[in-house]
Amino acid sequence: MALKIVKGSIDRMFDKNLQDLVRGIRNHKEDEAKYISTCIDEIKQELKQDNIAVKANAVCKLTYLQMLGYDVSWAAFNIVEVMSSSKFTYKRIGYLAASQCFHESTDVIMLTTNQIRKDLSSPNQYDTGVALTGLSCFVTPDLARDLANDIMTLMSHTKPYIRKKAVLIMYKVFLKYPESLRPAFPRLKEKLEDPDPGVQSAAVNVICELARRNPKNYLSLAPLFFKLMTSSTNNWVLIKIIKLFGALTPLEPRLGKKLIEPLTNLIHSTSAMSLLYECVNTVIAGQYWESVGNLCVQKLRILIEDSDQNLKYLGLLAMSKILKTHPKSVQSHKDLILQCLDDKDESIRLRALDLLYGMVSKKNLMEIVKKLMLHVDKAEGTTYRDELLTKIIDICSQSNYQYITNFEWYISILVELTRLEGTRHGHLIASQMLDVAIRVKAIRAFAVAQMATLLDNAHLLTGNTQRNGICEVLYAAAWICGEFSEHLENPMQTLEAMLRPKVATLPGHIQAVYVQNAAKLFATVLKGEEGNTDGTAAQEASQLMIDRLPLFVQSANLEVQERASCILQLVKYIQKLQQKDVEVAEEVNALFAGELNPVAPKAQKKVPVPEGLDLDAWINEPPSESESEDEQPKAIFAKEEPKHSRPRHTEVDEKELARRREARKQEQANNPFYIKASPSSQKVYQEAPGVEHIPVVQIDLNVPLKVPGLPMSDQYVKMEEERRQKERAEKKKKEKKKRKEKRSGRGKKHDSAPESEEDITPAHMVDIVTEEMPENALPSDDDERDPTDPHKALDIDLDKPLADSEKLPVRSHRAAESQKSPTDGETENATLQEPKKKSSKEKREKKKDKERDRKVYDIQGNLQDGSQVVVSVIFENKCNSFLKSMEFNVLDSLNSKLQRPEGSGPHDGLVVPFQLPPGVSNEARFVFTVQSIVMPQKLKGTLTFIVKNEDDSTHEKLDFKLHFTCTSYLITTPCYSDAFAKLLESGDLKSSSIRLEGVNMPFHHLLARICFHHHFSVVERIDSCASMYSRSIQGHHVCLLVKTTVSIDAKCDEPTLLGNVLDEIKQTFSQC
């Protein structure tokens, strides 16, 4: 023995410890990967040793390697081994490794339940602490369910050190196992008044997190928190409480009034910026704006003026929140925010930009955009400039161009933006141009003129290869000029510009638009020349097309090529007609008749699904898999056999044809996607009044449209200002009159706001065409809330009194047991789901079509009373009717009896204490008394219930069998190796053994399976074998020695029980 220890120490001395590993990695900078792979090999060797110190050292090194990004999931079992060491040193390392490496899909986690439970109840508070810390990182729904009660007990531990950890971890448990919230909540609430400030603050933290997600359930706690808020001096706690009130006040306006005073005091008095910031945030969220709002904005101004970048940033962030609810308060600080655009910190500039987005009004839009345009010129670095560009467009286009009063100005801004060097956002500008030109009918003439200039000066945009992104603008320009060519001053000139040879250097999709729109222009030219007796101009146009188009016919881009050849042939034909003096203009124009209307982006989604259309249904029966497998090889080898399988029905009589035709028509009539030959909707548009009735504004063409490079938007700003002034002057006159009239009445209203939003009328009648939606579009019901949000499950009413059924899953004996002896009384919450049983149930479900409910049950032994077994049955209602008056009855056997309440007969059923609405499941527990546990047995039973439909109700019954396996009498009991050895040596046990055939799974999976399904615990694992232990409810010891050769040697003091348990184990593995 002594030699062994010495040997272990020597081994250890030659092992690398963590420091050596780190040093080694730092010394092997060139071949780090290679060095680490040798280290991992060493670690693998170390993990095979028995010495726990060596193992812990190896696991510690693995944790470090995991951080470096190496996969260590293969060592999960070893980590569990180190976790279960009795020495704190190693346990701590094990738990650290687990918290870093384990996640929900780590399968060995289910092996840890017992170990964690043991550590949680350890007399050493640091063991408990380590377990709680670890658990907070890797808690799974299973662990949460099994350990919820233990953790809840720890919330009342004598040591505050444990209490505060237990309180904090409860939040994680709630998230994973929402059913625990209601049973645990009263105790959590108690902790708000814990004598220890640490525990108190932990409870505040947890409740604050919970309440933020589902505030309405926590309103009743408001008085308690109010008390805490006025008494606490800890800033961190105060911040949480104030945050909590921020969530509660929107639901309870009365709270707001109460809070005003303490909040104002805090804002005035605190020196902690974090607290001040939180107060301001709460004020913004709540209903206190009237009284404290101005104070907040003042404080924020101080933050923004501060030299500390962080405060400046947060100030702006808070301002943007205020903006949403009280835009006026922010707008008065426009100067300050515009100043921030000059800040050297880009993130602050971007924040300021965000704010500007919300600050614009009809009044100041032009001014703000002008400032931004200046910044665009000054800006260094393309990313920030691109950001500015997108912001300018966002600001102008927001809420359907609400703030733009002068679209001519906007178009000229867009045109100016095209002169930006190296921007990526050509596409964005282009889509804005298109959008405005299409939707604002009044602006088309102006837009077309501007676009024509752009096309004429296309070389400015494409000249520099760096500016590639911007040439997208030409796409829009060409399309606008083509589509609205009737507004063109000189279509011929534009046509010429669009067919320049240089165009062929543009990207393919733009060329395609050029070609197509050249054709539209051509049509317009023809139309324009129609009246002239002298047809030379028209012929010139045709000649121009015929000369230039061949260049595009040669294009490598298919789209361009196709369009060009099509149009070229068309023009050639037209030319021939022209030579014969045939009037063609009208017919050519008919090619491009009709107006293209904008379609809403969501239009497709909104098309209602027609009744009876099931897109998931098979149109043809899918071929069965076996068939295709069998037949395919045949088809390869067998030479084309004549297929006479398909009967030919060439001779279909007339009647049949007519019937089919009729059916098809019927179907097409009902099919929304079938385009009918009836008069198209296009005509409707043409005939509809509107286009002619829109007042087209006469544009003052003295504005130097044709000088590229000169910013024109400024001129529009001036013009607009003049116009507004004029308007204002007129208004004032009117107002004066009005005022005179009103003075006599009530004159108070007119004092404020020299110019309000509504006063500004747009420069010209703007008719923004709304986007088209399909007919009978469904109303939008986009539920934005993420269905996978874990917090949704925690939306639970906490004020309702606890029902009897709402208890944390724990067996009745647990509390007593753990008091008796915390070290050895650990029993697993034997949750066994009988796979076999379930499958047979499912089978029956298929047989019996009208199966009303499904049941899954657990059988749990009760250690306290050696003859009691608790069966929990989950009833799930799978039908659409309401189930009530359920009665559960079992035919007792000599050995097992259902415990019935006193006074009831031996054959009476037990009433299930709940009803089941459709789709709901619930759990009921029944206690059985069992005499002998050495044999498995089956009990027959029936469940009777009333099925209640809307109009009638029927009484039905369901037969079932309960299978009491021997396994269900076993209770996981940990055992130490020395005790285990003694037990084996005692010679009281009879032995037996089995072999498991055809099992090939990793050894630790095999062990996990035995632990899980048969309630064993691993005593010791040495290389290729492991010893396991379990105890029956009547105190029989069951010992197993499992070998990697998949044989099991077993010993037990009751041979019959042992035989049956082994049979059951065998069965478990035969199923996999």
Q: Least distance (Å) from another protein to the CB of residue 209? A: 6
Torsion, Cα 325 326 327 331, to 10 degrees, reads: -150
289 binds another protein (CB under 8 A): no
CA gap 123, 120 in Å, rounded: 9
DSSP 854: E
877 binds another protein (CB under 8 A): no
Q: Least distance (Å) from another protein to the CB of residue 101? A: 8
161 binds another protein (CB under 8 A): yes
Q: Least distance (Å) from another protein to the CB of residue 86? A: 11
- DSSP assignment of 227-261 equals HHHHH---HHHHHHHHHHHHHHGGG-HHHHHHHHH
Q: Least distance (Å) from another protein to the CB of residue 252? A: 19
346 binds another protein (CB under 8 A): yes
Per the document, the length of the chain is 1072
CA gap 338, 335 in Å, rounded: 5
Nearer to another protein, 22 or 1001 (CB): 22
Q: Least distance (Å) from another protein to the CB of residue 394? A: 17
Nearest to 1033 by CA among 987, 964, 939, 986: 964
194 binds another protein (CB under 8 A): no
93 binds another protein (CB under 8 A): yes
Q: Determine contact, residues 152/807, Cβ cutoff 8 Å.
A: no
Query: Around 152, how many Cα atoms within 13 Å sit in the side-chain half-sphere?
Result: 24
136 binds another protein (CB under 8 A): yes
765 binds another protein (CB under 8 A): no
With CB under 8 A as the rule, give the number of residues binding another protein: 72
Stretch that binds another protein, among 166-174, 460-468, 601-609, 1057-1065 (CB under 8 A): 166-174
Among 177, 277, 926, 964, binds another protein (CB under 8 A): 277
Among 11, 16, 18, 187, binds another protein (CB under 8 A): 18
CA gap 250, 229 in Å, rounded: 18
Nearer to another protein, 209 or 408 (CB): 209
278 binds another protein (CB under 8 A): yes
Window 238 to 257, contacts with another protein (CB under 8 A):
239, 243
Q: Which two tokens stand for residue 547?
A: 């000369």
Window 545 to 584, contacts with another protein (CB under 8 A):
none
Window 296 to 315, contacts with another protein (CB under 8 A):
309-310, 312-314
Q: Determine contact, residues 862/919, Cβ cutoff 8 Å.
A: no
Nearer to another protein, 13 or 617 (CB): 13
For residue 744, report the phi and psi dihedrals to the nearest 5 degrees.
Answer: -60, -35
Q: Least distance (Å) from another protein to the CB of residue 317? A: 8
353 binds another protein (CB under 8 A): no
Stretch that binds another protein, among 198-206, 519-527, 859-867, 993-1001 (CB under 8 A): 198-206
- Count of CB atoms within 10 A of residue 306's CB? 14
Nearer to another protein, 92 or 837 (CB): 92
- Beta carbons within 8 Å of 695's beta carbon, 6+ residues apart: 442, 764, 765
172 binds another protein (CB under 8 A): yes
Nearest to 286 by CA among 325, 317, 323, 331: 325
Among 201, 561, 1017, 1068, binds another protein (CB under 8 A): 201
Q: Least distance (Å) from another protein to the CB of residue 452? A: 43
942 binds another protein (CB under 8 A): no
| Amino acid in the structure at residue 42 | E
Nearer to another protein, 272 or 778 (CB): 272
CA gap 85, 94 in Å, rounded: 8
CA gap 44, 457 in Å, rounded: 72
Stretch that binds another protein, among 90-98, 248-256, 676-684, 1054-1062 (CB under 8 A): 90-98
CA-derived radius of gyration, the chain: 41
Stretch that binds another protein, among 65-73, 216-224, 610-618, 712-720 (CB under 8 A): 65-73
Helix (H) or strand (E) holding 309: helix 309-325
119 binds another protein (CB under 8 A): no
Q: Determine contact, residues 902/923, Cβ cutoff 8 Å.
A: no
63 binds another protein (CB under 8 A): yes
Helix (H, G, I), strand (E, B), or coil: what is residue 530? coil
Stretch that binds another protein, among 122-130, 145-153, 498-506, 670-678 (CB under 8 A): 122-130
13 binds another protein (CB under 8 A): yes
Among 1, 2, 69, 775, binds another protein (CB under 8 A): 69
Q: For strand 896-898 and strand 921-930, is the pairing parallel, antiparallel, or unpaired?
A: antiparallel
CA gap 296, 277 in Å, rounded: 9
CA gap 800, 189 in Å, rounded: 14
508 binds another protein (CB under 8 A): no
Q: How many Å separate Cα 340 from the centre of its chain?
A: 34
Window 512 to 551, contacts with another protein (CB under 8 A):
none
Among 305, 345, 842, 908, binds another protein (CB under 8 A): 345
Q: What angle do CA 582, 588, 592 make, to 5 degrees?
A: 170
Nearer to another protein, 8 or 508 (CB): 8
348 binds another protein (CB under 8 A): yes
Look-up: residue for tokens 């092992």? 15
- Beta carbons within 8 Å of 881's beta carbon, 6+ residues apart: 852, 918, 947, 948, 949
Q: Least distance (Å) from another protein to the CB of residue 201? A: 6
